[in-house]
A and B are shown apart, each in its own frame.
Chain A
Amino acid sequence: MAAGPDLDPAAFTAFHAGTAGPLWGYLKRIGGDAALADDVLQESYLRFLSRPPATASNERERRSYLFQIATNLMRDRWRRENTERTGLARFLPGESGWTRGRTTADQLDCAAALARLRPRDRALLWLAHVEGYEHREIAEILGLRTAGVRVLLFRARKKMMQNLETKR
């Protein structure tokens, strides 16, 4: 059972343990739907296993590649099903189980403010601030030019801050 040229099953298990939770969170927050996140997460790993990264030499690059696959799959879903708007509606607080357990008012505000951004802006903010990716890596994951990421990220932050201010 192959898991790529440089990733045996044991290594894949460790990779999966370190990436599944964060990837699901990313997909949930940019897509706004838990079931969609489940589907895309599984498909992302299957694509990763069937087409392992040719150049990724370390954990971080493999992780970046996985997020890139997941982003592309999510984008394909949006294009195919045209669910961007309905996904956004499902993402709004109070619609469904969008968070679990105790959630503070600040987090509620943050989730709602994030939900009001465009999907690309959500992904930009999440990748930069939650996943801690550099501009070059974000550009690869989202299919953008590296030079443009700084500007887009600045705008996304600005919109997010405006949304947060509006909520208060």
Chain B
Amino acid sequence: MNEPNQPDVLRDQLLALAAETRPVDPLPSADRLLWKAEIRRRLTEQGQREDQAARPALWGWAAGLLAGAATVVFFLSLHLAQGLAGASAPPLPAAAWLASLIAAPAAALFTMGWLRKHGAEL
């Protein structure tokens, strides 16, 4: 880039300074840089693969947790609605009772297991 209207003394001085500015220590060779770049690429790929492998399990845990929570909320709301309606309301079907009995402990157990596994990361 030339500035035709400017004196060249500055450019000359900078060029002289550039010629004098040399590395104190040897610079890394091209081979060494290529090798380091390759190591970094492999490590990055390995990390990505591990992330991808862990992702379905994590989604499964999250989906299970949501399902358990939704089940608990659903049956609690059913019980609440029955309580508000009083004795005249028809009783809940046996299957619903059974499901509520299973779902709540299952959700609790799942949450405890999940926290034991991932609690340190939170």
Contact = CB atoms under 8 A, between A and B. Distances in A.
Contacts of A104: 16
Interface of A: 1-3, 9, 12-13, 16-17, 20-22, 24-25, 28-29, 34, 37-38, 41-42, 45-46, 49-50, 97, 99-101, 103-104, 106-107, 109-111, 114, 125-130, 132-135, 138, 153-154, 157, 160-161, 164
Contact of B14 (A21, A28, A110): A110
A28 B35 CA distance: 25
A130 B11 CA distance: 7
Given A46-B37, A49-B34, A129 B22 contact: no
Contacts of B30: 9, 12-13, 16-17
Nearest to B28: A42
B33 A157 contact: no
Contacts of B6: 157
Interface of B: 1, 3, 6, 10-11, 13-18, 20-25, 27-31, 33-38, 40-41, 44
Interface of A, secondary structure class, is helix
Contact of A106 (B16, B21, B31, B36): B16
Contacts of A25: 18, 21-22
Contacts of B29: 16
A103 B20 contact: yes
A40 to B, nearest CB: 12
Nearest to B14: A129
Nearest to B7: A161
Contacts of A97: 24
Given A50-B41, A106-B13, A130 B27 contact: no
Contacts of A111: 17
Tell which of B3, B14, B22, B28 has the most Cβ of chain A within 10 Å.
Answer: B14
Tell which of B3, B18, B21, B28 has the most Cβ of chain A within 10 Å.
Answer: B21
Contacts of B13: 106-107, 109-110, 164
Contact of A161 (B10, B17, B24, B36): B10
Contact of B34 (A12, A110, A125): A12
Contacts of B37: 1, 3, 45-46, 49-50
B28 to A, nearest CB: 5
Nearest to A133: B1
Contact of B1 (A16, A21, A49, A128): A128
B10 to A, nearest CB: 6
A101 B19 CA distance: 11
